[in-house]
A = this chain, B = another copy of it.
């Protein structure tokens, strides 16, 4: 008789072992009801992984261990493999220290399965994205292989974590093991699933072992980054062939059988992997829903300009929370065009969300008047009065919208308000401190402008299946509408999105990093467009001379590495989906701007030709 194995797409709530224990018990009950022999739960399934200094709290570690004991006790008539933190207290010079282990436990019939007197199976692995939390774990291998017995049937399982590959190979083959189980707590990123499948397929084939991979569900964060966990489960045969898989974020269990002759036998075909824009939609929707739940937020207020960023954000929130829980505010000054005001209203109507108009003109004029008429004294001497520049007046509008109206309206409506900034704007700080940079969450803060447009189209076509976001929002020129020179009618953003989107993405996401020197080399050799993946004619159209090209490049490089860093430091958490979001994994510091010598030299050469 085959051994029946079930992998749980378990949602893990970070820092709440009580809730996670209840979730695990539900999976155990289900598995027992379905005659499952072996249940697999993911890495650190009782604690969560990204916990920062909570790992320092002894009582928290004790609770995780206690719930782990209860989980082991619950393994009557079933075998369970699960991840949990293990710890030891060490006293050096009367000071307490903790060795914490990212551990794998195996249990059967209410008891832990020991191997060589060890209670758990572990190695802590170093993952780039989660490096921040790896510091809390001690790296020590205890054991890797566990013998499971199901009546007369036996199964020798190799245990490992998803991020370690090198260590496993010798052990797996040496000991005649029969199945490789990988527990994971890996955040979802757009490129990750493809790379992951490649990695797992290669691993299974190299070890000639069938493989089961079981990742967490839920969300976790490193303060600036909210990561989603897709609860993906994959099964491979010993040739590296994918046998079955659930879809990311589908929360579907995967059950397989195993026999000594055949290996793993799937009960279903693999689910189709998500296309890029579908993946963005699923990830943002799932992550945002969980994040709002965790924060106790059930209503959102969103400033609606009539442009694409706020439109997509509003449509997503309406989809997530229901339009009755959304308050959309259009906040016109004299610079806002009829076009965008009508588009905002039309969108709100289409969504069926709450909608109001709050003019900001009077308030902004009041502020300007107050400041220009303000009597400044030094000791008893009256000082000259202030004059406000155009830029100062533009920022007054942005803050009047965000901090004066939207923040207060959100509090009165009950809940939070949204930051509608995208990754392109954030890259160079094209947003106002305490104005449009403010909000509880940057829902589209990890999307480049082109991805925002794609997501908008996807929402209309696939989610709402009607033109909920008015067509014109996709075609009007993006504009902040903060001055007479800058309205939808007269002039748009200083960014050429079909070029700068790709430029910034190259500067920011490439590994190894691409810097101005490399860009200039590509420019010189005519390869720039193909390298950064923009339209070939575009570079020549926009930059008729070398000087115009380098001026533009240096202008944005200075903002990207300079003032925009200060803005990102005070920006809201970002719903993260790319391989490199702004935040902890893209570690930034405030420092003076620097252009490398190689750039300076090459530029001189090019300009003197």
Interface residues of A (CB under 8 A from B): 13-16, 18-19, 48, 50-54, 56-60, 62-63, 66, 95-98, 131-133, 135, 220-224, 294-295, 323-324, 327, 349, 352-358, 362-363, 366-367, 370-371, 374-379, 383, 386-389, 391-392, 395-396, 399-400, 402-405, 407-409, 411-413, 433-435, 438, 440, 511-513, 515, 517, 565-566, 569-573, 586-592, 594, 596-599
Q: Min CB distance, A116 to chain B, in Å?
A: 30
CB atoms of B352 and A379 under 8 A apart: yes
Q: Min CB distance, A426 to chain B, in Å?
A: 14
With known contacts A412-B388, A515-B59, A354–B371 Cβ distance under 8 A: no
8 A-B contact pairs sorted by A residue (CB < 8 Å): A15-B591, A16-B594, A59-B598, A132-B587, A221-B591, A371-B412, A400-B404, A434-B434
In the bound assembly, the distance between CA atoms of A396 and B412 in angstroms comes to 11
Q: Min CB distance, A122 to chain B, in Å?
A: 21
CB atoms of B399 and A403 under 8 A apart: yes
In the bound assembly, the distance between CA atoms of A362 and B374 in angstroms comes to 15
Extra inter-chain contacts (18) besides given A58-B512, A392-B411, A395-B408, CB under 8 Å: A15-B589, A16-B591, A57-B515, A221-B591, A223-B588, A294-B590, A294-B591, A327-B376, A356-B374, A358-B374, A367-B404, A367-B408, A399-B408, A399-B434, A403-B434, A566-B573, A569-B573, A570-B570
Contacts of A371 in B (CB 8 A): 358, 405, 408-409, 412
With known contacts A16-B594, A592-B15, A597-B66, A404–B405 Cβ distance under 8 A: no
Who on chain B is nearest to A96 by CB? B512
CB atoms of B386 and A413 under 8 A apart: yes
Q: Min CB distance, A130 to chain B, in Å?
A: 12
Contacts of A383 in B (CB 8 A): 354
CB atoms of A367 and B363 under 8 A apart: yes
CB atoms of B596 and A63 under 8 A apart: yes
CB atoms of A571 and B573 under 8 A apart: no
Nearest first, the 9 A-B pairs at minimum CB distance are A403-B403, A59-B596, A52-B587, A15-B591, A403-B434, A56-B513, A434-B434, A392-B411, A386-B412
Determine how many copies of this chain the complex contains.
Answer: 2
With known contacts A411-B392, A573-B590, A375–B403 Cβ distance under 8 A: no
Cβ-defined partner of A408 (8 Å) among B295, B376, B388: B388
Who on chain B is nearest to A587 by CB? B52
Contacts of A353 in B (CB 8 A): 378
Q: Min CB distance, A381 to chain B, in Å?
A: 10
In the bound assembly, the distance between CA atoms of A149 and B386 in angstroms comes to 65
Cβ-defined partner of A598 (8 Å) among B54, B62, B357, B407: B62
Of A52, A133, A411, which is in contact with the most chain B CB atoms at under 10 Å from its CB?
A411
Contacts of A363 in B (CB 8 A): 363, 366-367, 370, 404
Contacts of A411 in B (CB 8 A): 388-389, 391-392, 395
Who on chain B is nearest to A379 by CB? B352
Q: Min CB distance, A348 to chain B, in Å?
A: 8
Q: Min CB distance, A279 to chain B, in Å?
A: 24
Cβ-defined partner of A434 (8 Å) among B52, B379, B407, B515: B407
Q: Min CB distance, A313 to chain B, in Å?
A: 18
With known contacts A513-B56, A569-B224, A597–B63 Cβ distance under 8 A: yes
Of A349, A374, A565, which is in contact with the most chain B CB atoms at under 10 Å from its CB?
A374
Q: Min CB distance, A128 to chain B, in Å?
A: 8
CB atoms of A53 and B402 under 8 A apart: no
Q: Min CB distance, A406 to chain B, in Å?
A: 10
In the bound assembly, the distance between CA atoms of A517 and B61 in angstroms comes to 13
Contacts of A400 in B (CB 8 A): 404
CB atoms of B389 and A56 under 8 A apart: no
Of A375, A396, A572, which is in contact with the most chain B CB atoms at under 10 Å from its CB?
A396
In the bound assembly, the distance between CA atoms of A396 and B222 in angstroms comes to 30
Who on chain B is nearest to A413 by CB? B386
Who on chain B is nearest to A128 by CB? B135
Contacts of A391 in B (CB 8 A): 411
CB atoms of A223 and B352 under 8 A apart: no
Of A366, A379, A589, which is in contact with the most chain B CB atoms at under 10 Å from its CB?
A589
In the bound assembly, the distance between CA atoms of A48 and B594 in angstroms comes to 13
Contacts of A349 in B (CB 8 A): 379
Contacts of A66 in B (CB 8 A): 597
In the bound assembly, the distance between CA atoms of A596 and B57 in angstroms comes to 10
Contacts of A395 in B (CB 8 A): 407-408, 411
In the bound assembly, the distance between CA atoms of A53 and B58 in angstroms comes to 33
Q: Min CB distance, A347 to chain B, in Å?
A: 12
Cβ-defined partner of A223 (8 Å) among B220, B515, B589: B589
